Amino acid sequence: MRVKLAKTAGFCWGVERALDIALDTANEATGPVFTHGPLIHNPQTVDLLKEKNVHVSDVNGTPASGGLLVIRAHGISPQVRERLRGSGAAIRDATCPLVAKVHGIIRKHSRQGAFTVIIGERGHPEVEGHMGYAEAGSRLVTGLEDVEKLPPFDGGVVVVAQTTINMGEWGHVVDALQAKYPQAQMFNTICDATEVRQEEVRKLAPGVDLMVVVGGRNSGNTNRLAEVAREAGAEAILIETEREIDPAFLQKFGRIGVTAGASTPDWMIRRVVNRIEAIPDPRAGARGWLFQGLKTLSRANVLLMLTAALGSVAAQALGGYPRSGTLVAVAALYIFCLHTLNRCASYEADRYNEPNRALFYERHRGALVAASAAAGLGALALGAWVSPAAAVTLAAGLVLGVFFSLRLEPRALGVGRVLNFPASKALVVTAGWTVTLALLPAVAFPDRAGPAGWVAALFVFGLVLFRAGLIELRDVQGDRIVGKRTLPIVLGKEQTEAILGALLAALAAVLWASAVQGMAAAPAAWAMILPVAYSGLSMWMFKRRILGHGGLTEAAVDLHLILAGLLALSA
């Protein structure tokens, strides 16, 4: 079934940051890690952290001396922080920066003698943390009746709010406070994450028949999303995991929307979307069967073979080599072998990143390993027919691929865990593609090798590295869970996006210069700028969550090399 996913579904940036800190701490720690209370309002994430040896510590107690303690996004009061420090625990502070900003406002004005009024929910951990910073006194306002009970105050008054409340539901309280304390300094400290998600649901609900809301049942903002969907005219259900999905029930609806609360991890949303997409749609007809068929071909890396084949055609044209069907077949078989072998050997992260693909590989692992071996032998045989040097090059690449896929470590060399080097997977994959698509033609046709061949190699290297980087951006949560050290994890998502953007700009500049300077055939060089532009479009679509959760994300990204090959064929 087809799914329309809300672009704002899932973690707000403060919660995502807190989970990243907790997971990074767990991956680096040699002993147990604790969180000061449940890290987020999502029981599945709390259970996941427990599997990673991250345990919930009683907020009224203290962790064991020498332990690692992560402060959740809600923050804590100075008094609690002092108590925790006295326990001897090392503290990793994951307080949301917006919450910390409220702490700063209260502390600054309280030290100047101002009385603090906090708008929020009684008993909420964020509110309790705020009150600890009010050295000149504070009162909590949970509704209009609390405003009426506030004492008169002629001195300074500062008004702040719990960051997670919805201003639309508290506007009348703010008006009443301004009337009671005209001298009050009003600070809008509300994060708009909750309001933005609700507003998108209001716009999305009229266009769907059923809204599936993903998140913990103990999360107030998640329950509110389901209420908003119903108020907007759609039927809505709230589920915590994909296991709660009833296929027969969902098949009653033609259009399905999915959203999630600000405490719902991306991997849980993806599991739900994948599960719904796997349900046959009785109304879809031929288009639905085509969509399911394409997803199966994508999971089995058959579409990747087409990508490699057409990418080889493009590299041969750009490098000025004769078109060789043998080299095209070598590229398709070799890339299929390496990618399938890697997936079969380690698909732990796919359980979070692409659960349907992980299930596919679990069920068909034997057949896929056999197909991978056959493809590898076929590529080597064809490579030997081209030239002995080509066969040796391919064999060396296969050894490196096996080394990487099986995570074999050269400990005798004393160089540590090579595979923990940041971006090792992206670089190994990119090198394999570049050698197979762009450098093998130079080995097969040494008399035609020249500057155009290097342009072709840079073209393949740039597009494949972009592909690997974009997939790592999509899979960052699952990769962090299993302890991978990809570029987005090491450098951050924004920095990785900037690097990928600069990479595409540099690649376009190289193609332009090679066409102008005559280093490569001008028609091919000019034409290859179009796939680079498409890559930029795919990153734009990813950042706006048009790409990222569906079963054909990789196929959509791979269109850059498919497009390049088709342009080369039409030239």
For the chain, the straight-line distance linking the first and the last C-alpha, in angstroms and rounded, comes to 39
Cβ–Cβ < 8 Å for 239, 245: yes
Phi-psi map region of 114: left, alpha, beta (phi>0 left; psi -120 to 50 alpha): beta
Quick one: which H or E segment has residue 257? strand 256-260
Instruction: Indicate the residue type of 143.
Output: G
Considering the candidates 16, 82, 126, 128, report the single residue annotated as catalytic: 126
Q: Return the biggest CA–CA distance within the chain.
A: 93
Please state the φ and ψ torsions of residue 92, each to the nearest 5 degrees: -110, 115
Query: What does the alpha-carbon distance between residue 436 and residue 432 come to, in Å, rounded to a whole number?
Result: 6
DSSP string, 92-126: EE---HHHHHHHHHHHHHHTTT-EEEEES-TT-HH
Region of 53 (left: φ > 0; alpha: ψ -120 to 50; beta: rest) is left
DSSP state for residue 447 in the 8-state scheme: G
Beta bridge partners of 57: 36
- The answer to whether 263 and 164 are in contact (CB under 8 A) is no
SS3 of 4, please? strand
| Catalytic status, residue 126 | yes
Q: Is 33 helix (H, G, I), strand (E, B) or coil?
A: strand
Residues 6+ apart with CB under 8 A from 24: 480, 489
**CB-neighbour burial class of residue 174 (10 A; exposed 0-12, middle 13-18, buried 19+):** middle
Helix-helix angle 451-474:559-570, to 10 degrees: 150
SS (H, E, C) 146-206: HHHHCCCCCCCEEEEECCCCCHHHHHHHHHHHHHHCCCCEECCCCCCHHHHHHHHHHHHHH
- Measured CA to CA, the distance from residue 329 to residue 10 in angstroms comes to 42
Burial class (CB in 10 A: 0-12, 13-18, 19+), 77: middle
359, two tokens: 């299930």
Catalytic residues: 126
